[in-house]
Amino acid sequence: MGKIVVVGELNVDLILDGLSHLPVKGKEILANAMSLTLGSSSAIFANNLSVLGSDVAFVGKVGEDLFGDLVMSRLRRSGVDTQAVVRDRDRQTGATVAISFGNERAMVTYPGVMDTFGMNDINWDLLAEARHLHVSSIFLQPRLKRDLVSLLHKAKSLGMTTSLDVQWDPNERWDLPIREVLPLVDLFLPNEVELLALTGCGAVERAMNKLSRFANVVVVKLGQKGCLAMENGVFTDVPSFMNENVVDAIGAGDSFNAGFIHYFLQGHSVERSQMYGNLIGAISTTSAGGTGAFTSREDVMEIARTKFNFSYDDVER
């Protein structure tokens, strides 16, 4: 398959689970569980993609602190190549406090060193050897966002395919030049809310039709409704794998991305890749934190069989 390079943000997640309801201003509630784990959409994607069997390298930045050590050790444990991750002595590794209540969540992020990550931190020798570039959480990385078009042009000049998941914009400005960006993106992977915000449309299909004039493949994550793809003006709707006992939904979209890209880059169709993405996204919800279910490829296969009555052989054919 060739190496997949992930360029993105790195931080830890402090996750509070088992709430009776979401917090209310001025009141205190209790959580039944807490975990400190690998966070950030880009890192969850890279971790789970590597566990599925892809050759993954990460380009990013962390501080020289305990949180940075945790991020690096977790990525390496999953087989992710971290030689191009920069350690910064002057800034702290970012952190997100994630409050999870069923399928709902609320998050507060301290960006830390990710604010300073940009094109000058990228190891271009590594990218020159890679097959595919994935970029995520662009609104959390202002310097990288500023240079996104240049980054994608560079990747294309090196013969790479590309994918992008913009993630949420904390400022809710959604000021991304999508007419410049999306022609350089082979796989655009927003969720429903992000797609509508970026396009200013009120319906998913209308938004996708708007993008069809300059985008390539668009795959929209619809949560429990599955996902909807558009390729060459043709729509493909694939239902989800339902988990009736969701632990939390943190990282489910990133896990979908990992499943979709792992399968798509093996030469399978968009529709088959959607099914695999839905499966991996659902598997993510069986454990906390986005990476909890991804201890090994064998464990992922076992969850697919026991939780979703699905044989891995069915999707590998």
Residue 47 maps to which CATH number? 3.40.1190.20
Q: Is the pLDDT of residue 113 over 90?
A: yes
Cβ atoms < 10 Å from Cβ of 92 = 18
Q: Is the pLDDT of residue 282 over 60?
A: yes
Full residue range of the structural domain in which residue 99 is found: 4-316
One-letter identity of residue 57: A
Using an 8 Å Cβ cutoff, are 60 and 7 in contact?
yes
Using an 8 Å Cβ cutoff, are 161 and 186 in contact?
yes
Predicted confidence at residue 208, as pLDDT, reads: 97
List the single range of 4-18, 100-114, 136-150, 250-264 with lowest mean pLDDT: 100-114
pLDDT band with cut points at 50, 70 and 90 for residue 15: confident
- Across the chain, mean pLDDT equals 93
The total number of structural domains in the chain stands at 1
Query: From CA 100, how far away is CA 290, in angstroms rounded?
Result: 12
Query: From CA 96, how far away is CA 115, in angstroms rounded?
Result: 14
Predicted confidence at residue 105, as pLDDT, reads: 72
Report the percentage of the chain scoring pLDDT > 90: 80
